[in-house]
Structure 1
């Protein structure tokens, strides 16, 4: 990678990135100073070429090893469809306006708790993003809410708070303009539980108690597969999970046990499967249904785990190769 950058009041601002790899991990420092800012339109194809030329004239170029170079050395711009994953520096404080505008193939974004200022439209057009990873500050604060409000799609958020791991799902939402003819106005209607989940923040911190209270909305409005992923990951990564919320989630898993275990089997999450089976304690009949689905999959490890569970009901464990 080659970076076009300049100094700012707090450290370094990167204005453009050049390279061939769609997975971009920005450096923590350049010239011995922390990278604290990303320029406007840094990863967008829609950057104003006049503004970019000004950055080129006043800034510097260097490699990812910090070696200063004269220019981008013929490397293509890392922008638009070329960007698939972004890992931002831990000390980053500011992201410029429309920084990731129309990065249609961006799927993963990682950032730290020092990020506080996200420019307008930064995530506009990032419709394929699936996962956000955030390491909050020691108080649990981050700019996660600012990011999520620009992303209406279903998202998985992996959160690290003082070394504790949490995993949260935010269902999708969409807005619809409906004409109110008698009043001669357009009313804005929001659909999906996702908007409620995105509002479960207290200032810069995810209010996990409020997040868990929203489960009935997800259960009523979202597809079963999304609800199961939300529930499974709250049990498997129980950051600040209360006993009341845990009981509610486990009861849902018991009611949808066969499908829940199937999801873990299809994703080959064998350790997680054992944990969930211990939590929901399916009876013999339910376990046999789970085993039948596992046998149809042809996955011997999945089958073996359910044979072990079935053995606990007094049935002799069969050999793993008997599918």
Structure 2
């Protein structure tokens, strides 16, 4: 994604090599971060860390200006060093003053990509560490894209990221990635997908339901941890940072009464539409639940105006006459004529072929 007005990065070099991204400034709420930046003495630094509170509206303990380097990223994605350790590099230095409590005096000035402003972030493939509270209070962040590297996360990375729905991992589904660390930092429901860069569709799409942890102290002063919902168990289906599909699929038949039925319907739908290493037995469990809950999926897809996913649902052939009637009512309520036409066409093709033709014999 090209930044319409460019963006500015502040980066702290690390003694062990690489660099820590401290802050991002720009006018686009959807940012794609570069994998490396030019080093002042030549060569380049890969961006290996995301600093604490990097995208938070109220950062804490930012490094001094003479400890960081500043870079301009233009519309083409090219990265240029503009300030190194407090000294301007090439051309006149431009000063940026940021006041979080007052509007910017000049609407053309870059401002922090943080808090409720940021909506989508694509992290570099080489990133290895995400600092504590890196996305604290990013209440409109809906999509986070990461590479195939393993990740180490600090605490409360996604605290109050209530809109975060999708984590996209640009890797093969059987690769060792940072997905385990990411989903275990989120207790709310979240969708994850393995989708290599340039892929037309996800190879695997997974839902991790919300869960709640309760801690109770017994009279013997022993702490008992209990979990409500299956979300915690779904998040443990990894070995050496590789996703384990059989273990993931084995959880569903064990029961899901404590989980949000809307999320579980989406879990079934996504697992069936992207059936990476999905057994026939597991598919049968998912199809049975989805057949009884197609309205929940359609309601969500209609709200998102996701016509492609509605086509995918129809291709699974899980709707009966009652489900088609419910879908037609939902499409009418959403005033979505395209979806209504898709449903009507699919219903006609499914049931018109099954309707026996009447035969007439005429004997004069």
Corresponding position: 1:310 with 2:347: yes
Query: CA 1:143/1:286 → structure 2, altered by over 3 Å: closer, same or farther?
Result: closer
The equivalent position to 1:37 in structure 2, one of 49, 59, 63, is 49
Which runs of 5 or more structure 1 residues have no equivalent in the other structure? 316-323
The equivalent position to 2:66 in structure 1, one of 35, 42, 57, is 57
Q: CA deviation at 1:289?
A: 4.8
Q: CA deviation at 1:288?
A: 4.2
- Judge which range, 286-295 or 162-171, deviates more: 286-295
Corresponding position: 1:83 with 2:83: no
Partner Cα separation in structure 1 for residue 174 and residue 326 of structure 2: 45
The equivalent position to 2:215 in structure 1, one of 168, 177, 188, is 177
Q: Is the 8 A contact 2:265 2:297 kept in 1?
A: yes
Larger Rg: 2
Partner Cα separation in structure 1 for residue 196 and residue 164 of structure 2: 22
Normalised to the residue count of structure 2, the TM-score between the two structures is: 0.74
Q: How many residues align structurally?
A: 311
Corresponding position: 1:13 with 2:26: no
Describe the SS at the equivalent of 1:280.
coil
Q: CA deviation at 1:168?
A: 0.9
Partner Cα separation in structure 1 for residue 23 and residue 265 of structure 2: 40
Corresponding position: 1:188 with 2:199: no
Partner Cα separation in structure 2 for residue 78 and residue 277 of structure 1: 39
Partner Cα separation in structure 1 for residue 344 and residue 9 of structure 2: 55
Give the structure 2 partner of residue 320 of structure 1: none
Mapping for residues 108-187 of structure 1, pairs under 5 Å: 108-136=143-171, 139-160=174-195, 163=199, 165-180=203-218, 182-187=219-224
Partner Cα separation in structure 2 for residue 138 and residue 272 of structure 1: 20
Normalised to the residue count of structure 1, the TM-score between the two structures is: 0.82
Query: CA 1:46/1:242 → structure 2, altered by over 3 Å: closer, same or farther?
Result: same
Deviations 1:111-137 (A, max 9, x none): 111243323443344344222111236
Q: Is the 8 A contact 1:91 1:115 kept in 2?
A: no
Q: Is the 8 A contact 1:113 1:136 kept in 2?
A: yes
Partner Cα separation in structure 2 for residue 126 and residue 133 of structure 1: 16
Give the structure 1 partner of residue 3 of structure 2: none
Describe the SS at the equivalent of 2:195.
strand
- Judge which range, 39-48 or 238-247, deviates more: 39-48
Partner Cα separation in structure 1 for residue 168 and residue 343 of structure 2: 32
Describe the SS at the equivalent of 1:219.
coil
Q: Is the 8 A contact 2:217 2:224 kept in 1?
A: yes
Aligned residues: CA RMSD: 3.0
Partner Cα separation in structure 2 for residue 47 and residue 278 of structure 1: 47
More helix by percentage: 1
The equivalent position to 2:263 in structure 1, one of 222, 226, 229, is 226
Mapping for residues 283-322 of structure 1, pairs under 5 Å: 283-284=320-321, 286-312=323-349, 313-314=351-352
Describe the SS at the equivalent of 2:10.
strand
Query: CA 1:284/1:156 → structure 2, altered by over 3 Å: closer, same or farther?
Result: closer
Q: Is the 8 A contact 1:19 1:76 kept in 2?
A: yes
Q: CA deviation at 1:60?
A: 1.4
Q: CA deviation at 1:217?
A: 4.8
Q: CA deviation at 1:228?
A: 1.1
